[in-house]
Structure 1
């Protein structure tokens, strides 16, 4: 009998018996790499779908990418633009009213019927037309008559161009007749020397005949010759070419008048000037008739410190011939006492008339753009600057060294400069006010420069100055204002310039769009091009010069807006080479793995087919 101890742990149970192996000789099987790869990787079909999803995604996104990156290129009227280049000049014709006074032709003999004024003018007009056509047909350069004579004015629309035959006591008493253009401040009635008449409007070409010449049997021929010569000059077949010194046409032009004190610190400077009166008397009579062509804005300023960028040359400023002085000195050396006196007098004159001279090279750099504040910040329009330069006390008197030259010079497409020397008798510390009388000589020169800068025509030699309103008063020194004849020439001149520029611009747009495939042509550009083409086509059938000018002005504006449209310039400097340089770094890293994966799957698929067979 055994006694158990409660503190002693129970013994461990025996391990279960190990079952014997079914086949002790069979080794343990491990999975192959292919089985492991097949268990880890998705099936073949799933892998193929994943790889194909990338190109499918790109294919589905291609329409959106094409829409967002495509260039809009609307068609342009290329054929109509090409047709415009070959068109002749537009057939713009003006009507000229030919009238006459009852006393401008001889009375018929007693018992003969009195001819009406209209019949007489019509007979003279037919001869004038035949004469002008014959001159154009026989000339070296074939011309065309762009006007027609009419003999009655309609009530609603009266021709702006007029020719009037009249008798005047103040006309030339001998042949040939001296036609003139009626000015605004005077009017000669038929047979009147002083009376004002509303019959002859300002701007009318007047062909006066003295009463003593009315009975001459060749008066009719002289009327014809005078009218033909005047019309050939006032209304030429081809308007004069616009010179390079003139400003290119712009509908808005700013006229800037600047008074330049070289250095007001030296004293004797200009503090104020009557600029309003000078503009009113010298410029407005020429600017107002040009209102259908240009829109002028005027500004003025005074600069008190406008130094030159060079030092003028001090020397003799008179126009005596150096050869004359040399001959006098040579004769004096030979013992001729009279020649010695002449040489001494010439040398004394030269010493006494010395000045600071501005030569032609100095004129080119006269405007000191770095130191002079001439820019107009209030406008982007073309600016014509008229500079009145007052030299400082140490540079007086200042003159131009060019012989026989006025004290002003022209700067092509920029403006003009005039020199004004204050009186030397005044104290050096005085500040001047320039009245209208002191400004008139300089502004008279500025007016002539304005004609050159705007290519304004002057009267031909066959058209004489008009007689003064009062024979007891001297003729006015002011330049006669522009007449309707001159404005008509400006209209034709600028119409030709605008139409040529519009055609060239449209042709340039057509060539650029054809050459640069990446250039965009949107609705805005196409609409402007179509508008310019339509206006140029209407220009060919518009007889009125003013309406034709407006069409040409609008056409060139639309053509320039289309040419410089920002949408056309956007892709002008982004050719195909730049596109490849941008897209290759983006798509190459993605395309290589996709192509390699597709090749592997294709090879695996091909192997699977062979195994299944």
Structure 2
């Protein structure tokens, strides 16, 4: 049967009219490809490549299903331990005032340190005398704080009896001594372990029963009967306590190191260049440390643990070249002579001007090497000097004794300084320059030769550790006999100064511990996934307990120990590995980790599910229209073509409609073969169905092209 040709539409390359014919009823081999007229139909590769709708849905749903099945394991493997922290107690500590320990001062007196009562007047014992004197000292101290708008509080109480182990650590004693000064005002001092005016030392280093660290008010026998002795005693005790125990501990300067329980002291002798000769080959460092440093380090044992090391370097070159210039000696006698000569020259005295010029010329030394302030900043050559003999996490204070080479002697500082020249390096250490005489090829520094240098090192130690000095109203401890010369060494720290250091460092530790605990609470609150294990929680609770106990103690050293332990526990909790793991891992990093894993899988799954959803909605609408009796719009058909029986309106069966998507692929692959057989091959975008395309079995037949049709 022939059919008339349908003229192609405008803009189409070719329009194929597909007709249906009855296929021969021959059994089909399921393994052999289905062909029509010797041509393989597009449904066969389509069935193989494209699964059914049911299978596609199951495949798409399998991915989310496997993901949901893995969620419990993922949840278990990524779950963290997050214990509760004492947030309320930490908040109370943050808003609480700074802890201040209230100490106790014991006031005692020798029986002969005050005048006896006149005849007929009842006598008073030492306790009654001390009570009356203590009341006047308390009133005088409170009046001092109120006078002139001074802000301060008396953080001590006065007691008048006590002894043994329960005796207060701070002690004021009135002592009568033949060697005391006969002039007013009185000259109080703090008793040192060596002999003082108290006489023969007693047990435990006490002198005449007076314990080391006691504030002694010496009274000469001639002063005992003075009518104003009580006022002088009140002034001496008040001024001494205000200087030794201020209301607020001094601020820690920036040049001092931050508190650390363990501190290393490194003493290094540096020869600039031993190859030039005249270098130092040895020094009595142990004797110098024992004489100059031990009296100051021993009292600090409750606060610091010191480790001492020393070494010698034979090649420590400078990283700069000093300046060779003239240096004025500026001796005191020469200065006076120059000033006198200049004064006479101003008065017009003949020859006075020439004398002044001559004195100025004589005052000049021979040229010396100078180190200015800019050179001091780079004096320590860290690249060439090996200053530390070991690796330690403890802070290290370095005391450097520099021996210039003969080509750089004498080496001086341009800024006015003591002899030998020295300067301080904040939070690092200090440098002392020692110029030995040019008289021997090698030198050995004995303790007398090291005395001036280590005296400077001691002063630098006080600055680097923020140790308090002696108040101006407290005098040095005198020798037991005024005929003895003072040692010239700085007295070691006494109990009053030690408590001042304890209060100072206690406040520093308390402030740091509070800030650290508050920071931990904020981090845990902000980062929801931060782990808080039993170790972290135990350290936080321990730090909070110690900070709360500080307010209940009356011993500054005990309060200091609590603050030291509190800051150590707080830092251990903050820098715990479980805390540091998420400290620098915000939520943005999670997206950066999970996105490369799930995005490549999620996109095709979501797109496929969306397509299936759209197809399901279309099918649902089509079924609704069929139930309502509205046939679907048929595709344009050839009016001359016959429609086989059993076809749906529109000429397409459901199976053919489902497989229509594979026609384009089939036509593209079989373009050459179709052209050879006289079949019009068109692109998928230009394919128009104009007639029945399938039979009941869903097979397709290609209609011969117009060029191959016989003339009707």
Name the TM tier (shorter chain): 0.7 to 0.9
Structure 1 pair 530–209 and aligned structure 2 pair: CA distance change class (3 A):
same
TM-aligned CA distance change 1:330 to 1:142, over 3 Å: closer
Q: Identify the match of residue 149 of structure 2 among 130, 140, 144.
A: 140
Residue number in structure 2 paired with 1:567:
578
Closer/same/farther in 2, CA of residues 33 and 261 from structure 1, 3 Å limit: closer
The match for 2:118 among 105, 109, 133 is 109
Is 1:383 the equivalent of 2:393?
no
Question: 1:28–1:191: structure 2 CA closer, same or farther, 3 Å change rule?
Answer: closer
| RMSD (Å) for aligned C-alpha atoms | 3.1
Instruction: Report the alpha carbon displacement of residue 47 of structure 1 after superposing the two structures with TM.
Output: 5.3
Q: What TM-score comes out, normalization by structure 1 length?
A: 0.87
Following superposition, the deviation at residue 26 of structure 1 comes to 7.4
Distance change >3 Å, CA 205–CA 47, structure 1 → 2: same
Partner of 2:217: 207
Q: What is the match of residue 549 of structure 2?
A: 538
Q: Assess, with a 3 A threshold, how the Cα gap between structure 1 residues 505 and 139 changes in structure 2: closer, same or farther.
A: farther
Does 1:124 find its partner at 2:133?
yes
RCO greater where, 1 or 2, for CA within 8 Å and sep 6 or more? 2
What's the counterpart of residue 455 of structure 1?
466
Alpha-carbon shift at residue 280 of structure 1 (Å): 0.2
Among candidates 148, 159, 173, match of residue 150 of structure 1: 159
Q: How far apart are the structure 1 equivalents of 2:505 and 2:603? A: 64
Q: Does 1:28 align with 2:37?
A: no
Q: Is the 2:188–2:216 Cα contact (8 Å) retained in structure 1?
A: yes
Q: Secondary structure at the match of 1:316?
A: coil
Residue 397 in structure 1 maps to residue 410 in structure 2: yes
Unmatched runs of 5 consecutive residues or more in structure 2: 1-20, 29-33, 35-40, 628-712
- Quote the Cα distance in structure 2 between the aligned partners of 1:155 and 1:126: 24
Q: Partner residue of 1:362? A: 375
**Contact 2:180-2:197 within 8 A present in 1 as well:** no
Q: Deviations over 1:276-331 (max 9, x none)?
A: 00000000000000000000000000000111111112222423779969995995
Residue ranges of structure 1 left out of the alignment (5+ in a row): 1-24
Is 1:408 aligned to residue 389 of structure 2? Answer: no
**What TM-score do the two structures reach when normalised by structure 2?**
0.76
Indicate the residue corresponding to 2:100 in structure 1: 91
Q: Quickly say closer, same or farther: Cα 1:394–1:46, change in 2 above 3 A.
A: closer
Question: Does residue 277 of structure 2 align to residue 267 of structure 1?
Answer: yes
2:583 aligned with 1:587: no
Residue 256 in structure 1 maps to residue 272 in structure 2: no
1:188 matched to 2:197? The reply is yes
Is the contact between residue 99 and residue 163 of structure 1 (CA under 8 Å) also seen in structure 2?
yes
Q: Which residue of 2 aligns with 1:279?
A: 289
Q: What are the residue-to-residue correspondences of 1:496-535 with 2, within 5 Å?
A: 496-517=507-528, 519-535=530-546
Bigger CA radius of gyration: 2
CA contact (8 A) 1:270 1:434 kept: yes
Query: Of residues 411, 428, 443 in structure 1, which corresponds to 2:454?
Result: 443
**Contact 2:108/2:172 (8 A) holds in 1:** yes
- Give, in whole Å, the separation in 2 of the partners of 1:111 and 1:602: 120
For residues 605 and 145 of structure 1, the distance between their equivalents in structure 2, rounded to whole angstroms, comes to 87
* 1:237-248 matches, cutoff 5 A: 237-248=247-258
Contact 2:173 2:214 in 1 (8 A): yes
Preserved CA contact (<8 Å) 1:268 1:432: yes
CA drift of 1:46 comes to: 5.8
Provide closer, same or farther for how the CA distance between residues 359 and 113 of structure 1 changes in structure 2, counting only shifts above 3 A: same
Residue 346 (str. 1) matches residue 357 (str. 2):
no
**2:188/2:215 contact within 8 Å kept:** yes
